């Protein structure tokens, strides 16, 4: 039954009615400003109570409550009375309807995202209502694009921007705060902002490669989504002497300001700075959308409120005004003075002013006050301040105590922290302590000056008690320390001493004086010498306390560390290609298997190696901890599975029933069974005594991965046959076959609740399968042809997968060199982590979901923050193997390259008809620790040497001068560079599936050859330079016309990746070597395969054809070289003296000698006719002859690693 009231609408509940108006955000700001002004004028800043306002306006308390809550409407006349009482006239923009405001808020908040990063806390805020109203007007009403908030240090720029942003945030779809206090390069800043913004727009978060592309992408984001972007502390990257100009290397920030200020978009940039950047000065004006707001000091009433926050103070009104005026109303200055007044003047403003009247100059700048405050501090409090400046981020008391070396000071840290808090010199948040940016900048400068003075005068103090770099710090923190501490120290020392040689002489004298004194002096000085690229070989550092020295990738041949204390210093690891990784159940350790057959165990917190397991004779493709963490299982290309005792490193079992490579191992949830999968197409189930319980057969090709379900007696396996099979582990029956991938399935992983199964494939996709649960055992497998979700984004094979503990995220590792973090629900990539330079083979996620750890083919293990996507720590391996050889056209010089970005040039000599090599020149890149050189190519005139790098750039060395030219080329790692026969073109091949042709003189890209569907390792010019051959992971070879870039022919026949190609001198034949262990010889004109040469038992990495066209040489990861008769295909010799992969072979110009380079660090010269090894050169290891007898602070595993890299104990 419906009443008339219901039909007319008059009977609706009161809660649903909309009546009256409320103050709009602008009206609210106007009212607050006027109220504050009245309070300042009438009550010295004391806030009006609601009763005061009721009496002033004539409005009831209930009405005022409705107005102030801004949720329920009032009549317009009430708002007019309120405004009139404070000298305002109500305008139309000052009010709105409750529904309109509520709907607007809900709509905007539905899509709202924020990233406040290191923004300051603005919960305690004083005054500034007029400035806040002005900012609201510019940002919300006028839609300004750029607003600069300017003022001296400590005036409150950061705080007011945060306060304004919090008030305006529902006017935006996203809010982003970034600090410039650590002087991030523009490229780094843009990457950080884009990583946040791109996923919000549903974009795949793959960052553009160039700076220009990143800036364009940012503008695209600012146009498509209303974003409030805040950049704090711009003065850090402005020039100290040239007002408004950017520091060298930071000029791009000017382009950023110009672009945002002059280009139409929906967003707003708020920039804080102590001075106005030149670009802003040129753009701003009343009729532009660029403005600046210069902050002055607080009013006496607001300044006095800061003192109230600290406690009770005494003083007359006139004295308060004098005090606030003396310090210019600077909030930070007043905060510091309040603490001083309490400590020294009994909270009496009168006593403080008496002291100030004795000649202390009027406050001009916060730095003046900081200097006075800092100089008053006891030395132990200065020590803590310096440590906070070094740490660069908020730290705990325990962290500080760990770094302080003086026992008394170490115990006193909690008291020292409390003292500094009382002085208002440090900040506290969530139990962590840090410095405000203006204080951080000042203290850092003081530390740099102190260190330089101590270095110059040899009066050591803080150089002993503090480190310039904390080697155990997060990677990005170490980079900041290098940029803002070490670099300024180097610049000042160069200015004072005049040369690197003079600095090195002084450093060595200081080291001699140190002896066994405890402290950081030796570590600091050695780090400084390393950064200055001083040759340390042969140095005597015996008996020194060498703490916090970063000696990774540093050539320390012949260095004497006898009886030295090396605690907390870091050295290179022997990690080869990192193929597999697992995390211990307690989250304390990681196990990593590599291509040398070893397994390494590191402590995650300290990154200290504590165990190495050796036993496998092939690549370790899989490692897995047992659920109780007491055992570790491993599998290898040697066909075995091994079980290890984690505690003592003893091998408990060797399981050898597989007949080929074992790709994967997995423990059952109860730890009682182990599953393994193999190239032999089977899955085996074992008990822990090594007994094979079941052989699961059904896959028709290699089985790459196995994983037990967490809550069912089932096992998933994935295969090269493109399927996934679900097995009942009780009887070995196949329950289901999942079909959908179009290429081999490399990985499978159950979600923690067992409801989903993720699979990663060589087709580049990830599929999520919902598994049907049934207690019935089917008589035959159930075929499932559709996955629940399909995740696309990787551009190459997906090697590994891992779910987060809550199952909400899925991480993937790929051959494309990236890791992706996916939202399982949204099917979107949240992060793309791209620091690896090659295949990422394995990954794990910590039990608390905070970290991701990855293992890659670039010899690194990386620790990532899952929330931010930041690379926190990197373990970097070094093997010293020979990667590439190149012979000059005159046949007199051989170049070799390897890790550490070092190139050796060797002179070929013939004595009594015996060939030998003598090293005569070495080139090293300033960034040698970042990458490794993968390939070398001499120019035809022998004057230039080109090299490819893993970091997507090309390097070109001028032989006579040693000058290095380098430029960014591809969007992924570069495998090969090669000069054309006329020397005018340089060709490069890359993991990005392209070949690029470069003008050698200008470095201009002439052609980009596209067509391959996967990365390219191999390219070769024909002798006339008209054609180019390329071999790829896509199993094909392509022939290209150099002039036009056209693909002339595709050669197919190999069954796995093609790693190497070589033209015969006639240009009519082409040889190719593959991972399928074969060599094919092709007719170039017809594309017909003339011969298939078999004999190698491993991948064929390198080929060379002799200049006389008679002999083909091949090098393989089976550690052998084979010489073949090119015409007949007959194997002439098998050369087996190398003890590791053969990476490069090349013939002498007379075809009589073959040079070979191997991962065993040797270059061998062979007589082609007899197959006899003529000569062997061993390249020095990184720590060759480094003496560590009596050295302390090393674990057994670390000592063993150093020996593997050349160190000696006798």
Residues 6+ positions from 822 with CB-CB distance below 8 Å: 766, 791, 809, 810, 811, 812, 828, 829, 830
* Closest by Cα among 746, 755, 761, 748 to 808: 755
Residue 2: its pLDDT value, please? 32
Q: What is the CATH number of domain 377-435?
A: 1.10.10
Q: What is the CATH number of domain 119-296?
A: 3.40.50.300
Owner of token pair 């209502």: 129
- Is the four-CA dihedral 328, 330, 332, 336 of positive or negative sign? positive
Residue 45: its pLDDT value, please? 61
Nearest-angstrom CA–CA distance, 475 and 497: 30
Taking the CB of residue 560, how many other CB atoms lie within 10 A of it?
A: 20
Q: Which residues of 948-971 are buried (b: 16+ CB within 10 A; e: fewer)?
A: bbbbbbbbbbebeeeeeebeebbb
Residue 364: its pLDDT value, please? 60
Residue 912: its pLDDT value, please? 60
- Is the four-CA dihedral 967, 970, 971, 972 of positive or negative sign? negative
Contact 1090, 1083 (CB under 8 A): yes
CA 918, chain centre distance (Å): 40
What whole-number percentage of the chain has pLDDT above 90?
Answer: 61
Nearest-angstrom CA–CA distance, 553 and 924: 12
Contact 1045, 1022 (CB under 8 A): no
Contact 1036, 1002 (CB under 8 A): no
Residue 272: its pLDDT value, please? 95
pLDDT range class, residue 15, cuts 50, 70, 90:
very low
Question: Which range is least confidently modeled, 651-655, 966-970, 985-989?
Answer: 966-970
Residue 819: its pLDDT value, please? 96
pLDDT digits (tens, 9 = 90+) for 1-12: 333 333 233 233
pLDDT range class, residue 111, cuts 50, 70, 90:
low
pLDDT digits (tens, 9 = 90+) for 1035-1077: 999 999 999 999 999 999 999 899 999 999 999 999 999 999 9
Owner of token pair 């029956």: 733
Q: Are strands 682-687 and 692-697 parallel, antiparallel or unpaired?
A: antiparallel
Three-state SS sequence of 212-250: HHHHHHHHHHHHHCCEEEEEECHHHHECCCCCCCECCCC
1103 forms beta bridges with: 1114
Nearest-angstrom CA–CA distance, 619 and 635: 8
* The pair of three-digit structure tokens given for residue 704, joined into one six-digit string: 């790459």
DSSP 16: G
pLDDT surpasses 90 at 270:
yes
Residue 606: its pLDDT value, please? 85
Residue 776: its pLDDT value, please? 60
Instruction: Give the start-end residues of each E strand in 848-963.
Output: 851-856, 860-865, 871-876, 882-887, 893-898, 902-911, 914-924, 933-938, 944-949, 953-958
pLDDT surpasses 50 at 929:
no
Instruction: Give the start-end residues of each E strand in 765-901.
Output: 765-770, 782-784, 789-792, 798-803, 809-814, 819-823, 828-833, 840-845, 851-856, 860-865, 871-876, 882-887, 893-898
Taking the CB of residue 408, how many other CB atoms lie within 10 A of it?
A: 8
* Closest by Cα among 14, 1199, 1168 to 612: 1199
Residue 18: its pLDDT value, please? 40
Rg (CA), the chain: 35
Q: Which residues of 272-292 are buried (b: 16+ CB within 10 A; e: fewer)?
A: bbbbbbbbbeebbeeeebbbb
Residues 6+ positions from 52 with CB-CB distance below 8 Å: none
Q: At 305, phi and psi to the nearest 5?
A: -65, -30
Owner of token pair 């990774």: 552
pLDDT range class, residue 123, cuts 50, 70, 90:
confident
Whether domain 16-110 has CATH 1.10.3470? no
Nearest-angstrom CA–CA distance, 687 and 694: 10
Nearest-angstrom CA–CA distance, 1207 and 1183: 5
Contact 933, 883 (CB under 8 A): yes
CA 112, chain centre distance (Å): 27
Nearest-angstrom CA–CA distance, 592 and 581: 4
pLDDT range class, residue 588, cuts 50, 70, 90:
very high
pLDDT surpasses 80 at 172:
yes
Give the containing element (helix H, strand E) for 655.
strand 651-655
Contact 1145, 1107 (CB under 8 A): no
More confident residue, 1094 or 125: 1094
pLDDT surpasses 80 at 787:
no
pLDDT range class, residue 805, cuts 50, 70, 90:
very high
Q: At 39, phi and psi to the nearest 5?
A: -60, -40
Mean pLDDT of 666-686: 97
401: left (phi over 0), alpha (psi -120 to 50) or beta: alpha
Owner of token pair 């709907």: 103
Residue 1037: its pLDDT value, please? 97
Nearest-angstrom CA–CA distance, 844 and 852: 6
pLDDT surpasses 80 at 879:
no
pLDDT range class, residue 178, cuts 50, 70, 90:
very high
DSSP 482: I
Contact 416, 381 (CB under 8 A): yes
394: left (phi over 0), alpha (psi -120 to 50) or beta: beta
Between the CA of residue 652 and those of 451, 484, 620, 633, 734, what are the distances in Å? 54, 51, 17, 10, 31
pLDDT range class, residue 359, cuts 50, 70, 90:
low
- Is the four-CA dihedral 573, 576, 578, 583 of positive or negative sign? negative
602 forms beta bridges with: 590, 609
Between the CA of residue 1072 and those of 88, 616, 927, 988, 1020, what are the distances in Å? 85, 30, 34, 18, 10
Mean pLDDT of 1000-1005: 93
Question: Which range is least confidently modeled, 45-54, 78-87, 413-422, 1013-1022?
Answer: 45-54
Contact 60, 52 (CB under 8 A): no
pLDDT surpasses 70 at 931:
no
Mean pLDDT of 825-835: 90
Q: Which residues of 172-188 are buried (b: 16+ CB within 10 A; e: fewer)?
A: bbbbbbbbbbbbbbbee
More confident residue, 67 or 470: 470
Residue 355: its pLDDT value, please? 81
Nearest-angstrom CA–CA distance, 855 and 852: 10
Contact 950, 973 (CB under 8 A): yes
């Amino acid at each position: 039954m419906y009443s008339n009231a219901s039909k007319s609408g008059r009977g609706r509940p009161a809660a649903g009615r909309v009546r009256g108006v409320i103050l709009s955000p602008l009206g609210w700001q106007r009212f607050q400003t006027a109220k504050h002004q009245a309070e300042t004028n009438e009550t010295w800043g004391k806030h009006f109570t609601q009763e005061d306002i009721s009496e002033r306006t004539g409005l009831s308390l209930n009405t005022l409550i409705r107005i102030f809550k801004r949720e329920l409407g009032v009549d317009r006349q009430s708002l007019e009375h309120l405004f009139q009482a404070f000298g305002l006239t109500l305008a139309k923009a000052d009010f709105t309807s409750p529904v309109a405001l509520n709907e607007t808020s809900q709509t905007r908040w539905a899509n709202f995202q924020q990233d406040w990063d290191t923004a300051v806390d603005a919960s305690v805020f004083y005054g500034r209502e007029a400035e806040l109203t002005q900012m609201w007007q510019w940002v919300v009403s006028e839609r300004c694009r750029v607003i600069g908030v300017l003022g001296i240090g400590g005036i409150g720029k950061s705080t007011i921007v945060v306060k304004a942003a919090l008030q305006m945030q529902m006017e935006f779809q996203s809010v982003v705060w970034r600090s410039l206090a650590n002087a991030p390069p523009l490229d780094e800043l843009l990457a950080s902002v884009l990583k946040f913004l791109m996923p919000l727009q549903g974009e795949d978060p793959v960052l553009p490669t160039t700076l220009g592309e990143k800036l364009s992408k940012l503008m695209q984001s600012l146009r498509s989504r209303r974003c409030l972007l805040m950049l704090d502390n711009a003065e850090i990257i402005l020039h100290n002497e040239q007002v408004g100009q950017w520091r060298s290397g930071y000029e791009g920030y000017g382009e950023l300001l110009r672009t945002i200020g002059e280009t139409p978009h929906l967003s707003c940039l708020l920039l804080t700075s102590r001075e106005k950047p030149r670009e802003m000065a040129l753009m701003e004006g009343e009729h532009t959308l660029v403005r600046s707001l210069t902050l002055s000091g607080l009013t006496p009433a607001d300044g006095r409120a800061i003192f109230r926050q600290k406690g009770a103070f005494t003083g007359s009104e006139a004295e308060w005004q004098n005090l606030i005026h003396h310090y210019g109303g600077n909030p930070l200055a007043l905060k510091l003075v309040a603490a001083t007044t309490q400590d020294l003047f009994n909270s009496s403003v009168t006593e403080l002013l008496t002291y100030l009247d004795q000649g202390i100059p009027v406050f001009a700048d916060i730095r003046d006050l900081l200097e006075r405050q800092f100089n008053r501090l006891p030395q132990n409090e200065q020590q803590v301040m310096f440590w906070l400046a070094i740490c660069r981020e908020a730290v705990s008391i325990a962290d500080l105590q760990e770094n302080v070396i003086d026992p008394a000071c170490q115990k006193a840290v909690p008291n020292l922290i409390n003292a500094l808090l009382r002085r208002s010199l440090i900040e506290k948040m969530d139990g962590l302590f840090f410095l405000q940016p203006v204080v951080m900048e000042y203290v850092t400068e003081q530390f740099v000056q102190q260190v330089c003075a101590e270095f110059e005068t040899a009066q050591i103090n803080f150089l002993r008690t503090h480190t310039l770099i904390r080697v155990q710090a997060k990677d990005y923190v170490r980079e900041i320390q290098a940029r803002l501490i070490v670099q300024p120290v180097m610049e000042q020392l160069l200015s004072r001493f005049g040369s690197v040689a003079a600095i090195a002489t002084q450093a060595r004298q200081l080291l001699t004086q140190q002896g066994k004194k405890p402290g950081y002096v030796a570590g600091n000085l050695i780090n400084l010498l390393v950064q200055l690229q001083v040759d340390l070989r042969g140095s005597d550092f015996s008996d020194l306390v060498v703490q916090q020295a970063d000696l990774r990738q540093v050539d320390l041949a012949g260095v004497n560390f006898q009886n030295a204390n090396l605690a907390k210093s870091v050295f290179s690891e022997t990690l080869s290609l990192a193929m597999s990784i697992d995390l211990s159940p307690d989250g304390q350790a990681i196990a990593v298997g590599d291509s040398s057959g070893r397994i390494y165990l590191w402590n995650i917190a300290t990154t200290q190696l504590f165990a190495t397991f050796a036993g496998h004779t092939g690549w370790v493709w899989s490692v897995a901890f047992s659920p109780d963490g007491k055992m570790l299982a491993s599998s290898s290309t040697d066909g075995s599975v091994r079980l290890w005792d984690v505690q003592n490193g003893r091998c408990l079992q060797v399981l050898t029933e597989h007949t080929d490579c074992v790709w994967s191992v997995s423990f059952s949830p109860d730890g009682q069974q182990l599953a393994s999968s193999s190239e032999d197409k089977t899955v085996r189930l074992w008990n822990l005594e090594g007994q094979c319980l079941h052989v699961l057969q059904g896959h028709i090709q290699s089985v790459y991965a196995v994983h037990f379900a967490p809550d069912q007696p089932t096992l998933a396996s994935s295969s090269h046959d493109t399927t996934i099979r679900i097995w009942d582990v009780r009887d070995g029956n196949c329950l289901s076959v999942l079909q959908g991938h179009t290429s081999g399935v490399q990985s499978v992983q159950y979600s923690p609740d067992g409801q989903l199964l993720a699979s990663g494939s060589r087709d580049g996709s990830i599929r999520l399968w919902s598994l049907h649960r049934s207690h019935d055992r089917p008589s035959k497998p159930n075929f499932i042809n559709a996955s629940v979700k399909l995740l696309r984004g990787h551009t190459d094979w997906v090697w590994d997968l891992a779910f987060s503990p809550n199952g909400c995220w899925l991480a993937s590792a790929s051959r494309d060199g990236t890791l992706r973090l996916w939202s399982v629900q949204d099917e979107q990539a949240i992060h793309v982590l791209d620091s690896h330079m090659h295949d990422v083979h394995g990954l794990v996620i910590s039990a608390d979901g905070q970290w991701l750890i990855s293992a890659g083919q670039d010899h690194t293990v990386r620790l990532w923050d899952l929330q931010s996507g930041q690379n926190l720590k990197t373990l970097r391996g070094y093997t010293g193997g020979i990667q590439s050889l190149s012979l000059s056209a005159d046949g007199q010089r051989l170049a070799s390259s390897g890790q550490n970005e070092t190139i050796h040039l060797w002179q070929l000599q013939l004595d009594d008809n015996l060939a030998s090599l003598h090293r005569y020149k070495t080139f090293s890149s300033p960034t040698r620790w970042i990458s490794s050189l993968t390939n070398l190519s001499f120019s035809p005139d022998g004057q230039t040497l080109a090299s490819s790098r893993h970091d997507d750039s090309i390097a070109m060395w001028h032989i006579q001068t040693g000058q290095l030219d380098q430029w960014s080329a591809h969007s992924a790692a570069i495998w090969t560079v090669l000069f054309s026969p006329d020397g005018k073109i340089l060709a490069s091949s890359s993991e990005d599936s392209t070949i690029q042709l470069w003008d050698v003189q200008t470095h201009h890209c002439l052609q980009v050859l596209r067509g391959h569907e996967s990365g390219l390792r191999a390219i070769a010019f024909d002798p006339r330079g008209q054609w180019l051959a390329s071999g790829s992971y896509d199993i094909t070879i392509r022939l290209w016309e150099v002039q036009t870039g056209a693909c002339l022919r595709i050669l197919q026949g190999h069954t796995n990746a093609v790693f190497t190609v070589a033209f015969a001198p006639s240009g009519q034949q082409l040889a190719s070597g593959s991972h399928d262990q074969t060599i094919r010889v092709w007719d170039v004109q017809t594309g017909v395969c003339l011969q298939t040469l078999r004999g190698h038992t491993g991948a064929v990495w390198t080929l060379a054809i002799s200049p006389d066209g008679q002999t083909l040489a091949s090098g393989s990861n089976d550690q052998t070289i084979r010489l073949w008769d090119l015409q007949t295909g007959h194997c002439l010799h098998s050369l087996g003296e190398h003890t590791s992969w053969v990476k490069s072979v090349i013939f002498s110009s007379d075809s009589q000698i073959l040079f070979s380079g191997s991962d065993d660090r040797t270059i061998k010269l062979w007589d082609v006719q007899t197959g006899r090894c003529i000569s062997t050169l061993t390249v020095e290891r990184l720590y060759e002859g480094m003496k560590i007898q009596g050295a302390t602070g090393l674990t057994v595993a670390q000592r063993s690693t150093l020996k593997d890299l050349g160190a000696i104990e006798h």
